[in-house]
Structure 1
Amino acid sequence: MKSWQDKPVEVSYLLNPSFCGELFRRSMKKYKNVTSNNLPYPLIFLILPIVLHKVTRDKMPSTARKKMHTWLQENPEVKINFAKRANNLVPITKETIIFLLQLNAIEIDDKGNLKLKNYRRKNITSQKEGEVANCYRKAEIIGHWFGKMEKVSTIYTMWGVRP
């Protein structure tokens, strides 16, 4: 893993563990609200390649009312190069998980799932518009969609990737 000084400025701004961690936190919270369960570990690796990819994010509906599989059938182009994007973001995802574990913001439960913990954080809900707010909303939709699915393997299959 490259040190932060060696990373391009754009990567440091967009893919920093704090921002990515907030995307994870919002997805995990929605998942927990829908299922009453903690987020299965493999699903965390799908959040960033969906939410951070502008074309995919822009095509996503504004609410979670539409089912994920229906939306994917209507927008098959979002799966183009998805496996490559997901693979490229694995190091960022792992770095973010480590960051959140060190902050005591998440923990791994006895089933290996990711559990949100209560922790003090700066209130960042003031972001109501713009690209950051849009990323937050889409991360919540992803958490909701994932929560409506029964199996991790089904979600991976829908996106055309393997864990």
Structure 2
Amino acid sequence: MSAWQERTIEQRNLLNPAFCAIAVWHLARGYRTEATALGSNEDGLPLALAFVGASLVLRGQTRDQLPRTITSSLATWVNDHPLERSAVAKGVVVLRETVREALLFGAQQGLLSLDGHRIEAGSTSAKKMNAYLRASSEDVRDCMRQATFVGRWLCKAGAPPTVLALLGVKT
């Protein structure tokens, strides 16, 4: 983890721990929503999928290429978007430290709950998140809407090893 003052202004503004923790909160919330709808007993967003989800959501070009419905399969999307597949796999590596820092920050602030290899959206009320989003730019709101969508989509995509393999992410 590089020292804060050594980070570029873009890293400090776009990839700061608070913003990324909020994105992971939305990923975990979306995952839980879909798991509940499917009648699954999943205990939260798998840790590996937090890194994949962040890579899908934090890069604007990839975010713009995401499907519009969760009924679109990940395998089909990967087949139709080979360059995005590569970008996501690379993004998982590039964002590794950023996501780790966000997970720690989120857990310290009560935003995220980490239990083994699963992440739960913490007890932070949806009211506080909605207030944050109302005061945010359209880009931030879009990023968080897409994070919720990606959480739901990844829940339907299969087991974490399957998702990682489809996206070409090496563990």
Q: Which residue of 1 aligns with 2:72?
A: 66
How many residue pairs are counted as aligned between the two chains?
Answer: 162
In the TM superposition, what are the counterparts of 1:30-109 in structure 2 within 5 Å? 30-36=30-36, 37=42, 38-109=44-115
Query: Matched residues in 2 for 1:80 and 1:155: separation?
Result: 14
More helix by share: 2
Question: Where does structure 1 lack aligned partners over 5 or more consecutive residues?
Answer: none
What secondary structure is seen at the aligned counterpart in 2 of 1:125?
A: helix
Change (3 A) 1:63 1:149: closer
Q: Match for residue 115 of structure 1?
A: 120
Where 1:114 maps in the other structure, the secondary structure is strand
* 1:134 alignment partner AA: D
CA change 1:6–1:129 in 2 (3 A) is closer
Shift of the alpha carbon at 1:129? Answer: 6.4
Q: Show CA shifts across 1:113-136 (max 9, x none).
A: 112221364621316863212211
Please give the root-mean-square deviation of Cα atoms over the aligned residues, in Å.
Answer: 2.0
Conserved? CA contact 2:29–2:120, under 8 Å: no
SS of the counterpart of 2:124? coil
Cα contact 2:86–2:168 (8 A) shared by 1: no
The answer as to whether partners of 1:127 and 1:133 remain within 8 angstroms in 2 is no
SS in 1 for 2:27: helix
Q: 1:148 to 1:137 in 2, by over 3 A?
A: same
**Partner residue, 2:39:** none
- Normalising to structure 1: TM-score of the pair? 0.88
Q: State the 4+ residue runs in structure 1 displaced beyond 3 angstroms.
A: none
Q: Percent identity?
A: 26
Please give the TM-score of this superposition, normalised by the length of structure 2: 0.85
Task: Give structure 2 stretches of 5+ with no counterpart.
Answer: 37-41
Offset, 1:78: 0.5
Which residue number in structure 1 is paired with residue 140 of structure 2? 132
